[in-house]
């Protein structure tokens, strides 16, 4: 096992108004700590996976970068309990 542990989190995001969902997902996927972003069906419109060296980086990524994308509304963040 590596001595460098990563924190993985899944961010569920609603896209507000008539914003382009695919465009929002593409913008989110361009954020440095985001490893993947997908348009999904359900209560949320975009699911993104964040990988970071620590919890503070995950929180900063969501609060500053993901929520800063035009069209992002409500978000929920779920931290993976396994590597």
Both tokens of 22, joined, read: 């695919």
CA–CA distance, 51 with 33 (Å, rounded to integer)? 6
Residue 31: inside a domain, yes or no?
yes
CA distances to 2, 9, 37, 41 from 68, rounded to whole Å, are 33, 18, 15, 22
Q: Encode pLDDT of 12-68 as tens digits.
A: 999 998 999 999 999 999 999 999 999 999 999 999 999 999 999 999 999 999 999
Residue 2: inside a domain, yes or no?
no
**Global pTM?**
0.90
Both tokens of 49, joined, read: 């996976």
CATH of the domain at 66: 3.30.70.920
| Structural domain count, the chain | 1
Instruction: Please choose, from the candidates 21, 49, 46, the residue with its C-alpha nearest in 3D space to the C-alpha of residue 33.
Output: 49
Residue 49: inside a domain, yes or no?
yes
Residue 26: inside a domain, yes or no?
yes
């Amino acid at each position: 096992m590596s001595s460098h542990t990563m924190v993985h989190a899944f961010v569920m995001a609603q896209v507000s108004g008539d914003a382009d969902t695919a465009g929002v997902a593409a913008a989110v996927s361009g954020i440095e700590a985001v490893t993947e972003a997908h348009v999904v069906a359900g209560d949320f419109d975009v699911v993104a996976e964040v990988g970071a060296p620590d919890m503070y980086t995950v929180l900063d990524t969501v609060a500053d970068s993901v929520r800063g994308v035009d069209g992002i509304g409500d978000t929920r963040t779920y931290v993976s309990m396994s590597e």
